[in-house]
Amino acid sequence: MKIDKSRVKRILVITLSNLGDVVLTTPVLGALLGEFPLASLDVMVGPRGREIFEGHERISDVIIYDKKSSWPEKFTLLLALRKKKYDMVIDLKNTVFPLLLGAKFITNPVRHIKKNVTHKRDVHLSRLREMGIDPAGCEFHIPVKDSDKKHAEELLSEVKEKPFVVISPGAKSHVKRWPLKNFARLADMIKKEFDYEVVLIGDENDRIVIERILSNMKTVPLNLIEKTNIPELLHIIKKSSLVITNDSAPLHIAGTLGARILVFFGPTDEREYGPRTRAKSKVLKKALKCSPCTVPQCINSENKYECLKTISTEEAYRAVRELLEVKNANTSNENR
With residues binned 3-state (H G I as helix, E B as strand, rest as coil), the percentages for the chain, rounded to 5, are 45, 15, 40
d(CA 51, CA 253): 13
Question: Which structural domain, as residue segments, surrounds residue 219?
Answer: 146-335
Among residues 129, 160, 195, the one where a domain terminates is: 129
* Number of domains the chain contains: 2
pLDDT of residue 329: 64
Do residues 186 and 43 share a domain? no
Do residues 29 and 76 share a domain? yes
Do residues 199 and 313 share a domain? yes
Which segments within 156-240 are labelled E, that is strand?
A: 164-168, 197-200, 222-223
Do residues 192 and 77 share a domain? no
pLDDT of residue 333: 56
d(CA 41, CA 222): 39
Crossing angle of the two packed helices 207-216 and 180-193, in degrees rounded to 10: 50
Do residues 194 and 303 share a domain? yes
Residue 240's contacts (CB-CB under 8 Å, 6 or more residues apart) are 164, 165, 166, 199, 259
pLDDT at position 252 over 60:
yes
In a domain, 76, yes or no: yes
Write the pLDDT tens digit of every residue in 55-65: 999 999 999 99
DSSP 316: H
pLDDT at position 276 over 60:
yes
In a domain, 96, yes or no: yes
Write the pLDDT tens digit of every residue in 191-235: 999 999 999 999 999 999 999 999 999 999 999 999 999 999 999
CATH number at residue 209: 3.40.50.2000
Phi/psi for 43 (5° steps) reads -125, 130
Do residues 224 and 312 share a domain? yes
| Angle CA 163–176–148, to nearest 5 | 40
In a domain, 166, yes or no: yes
pLDDT of residue 123: 92
In a domain, 121, yes or no: yes
Among residues 129, 158, 177, the one where a domain terminates is: 129
pLDDT of residue 335: 53
Do residues 125 and 203 share a domain? no
Write the pLDDT tens digit of every residue in 28-50: 999 999 999 999 999 999 998 99
Q: Are 114 and 106 in contact (CB under 8 A)?
A: no
- Tell me the three state secondary structure of residue 327: helix
Do residues 244 and 95 share a domain? no
Q: What mean pLDDT is predicted for residues 169-198?
A: 95
Do residues 101 and 158 share a domain? no
Do residues 11 and 76 share a domain? yes
Among residues 102, 129, 156, the one where a domain terminates is: 129
How buried is residue 240: exposed, middle or buried, by Cβ count under 10 Å (0-12/13-18/19+)?
Answer: buried
- Tell me the three state secondary structure of residue 105: strand
d(CA 255, CA 240): 13
End-to-end CA distance of the chain: 52
Lowest mean pLDDT among 33-47, 61-75, 97-111: 97-111
pLDDT of residue 257: 93
Crossing angle of the two packed helices 313-335 and 180-193, in degrees rounded to 10: 40
Residue 1 banded pLDDT, cuts 50, 70, 90 = low
- Cα–Cα nearest to 141, from 251, 243, 58, 241: 58
Q: Are 164 and 197 in contact (CB under 8 A)?
A: yes
In a domain, 212, yes or no: yes
d(CA 73, CA 77): 6
Do residues 240 and 273 share a domain? yes
Do residues 230 and 310 share a domain? yes
In a domain, 141, yes or no: no
Neighbours of 115 (CB within 10 A): 5
In a domain, 140, yes or no: no
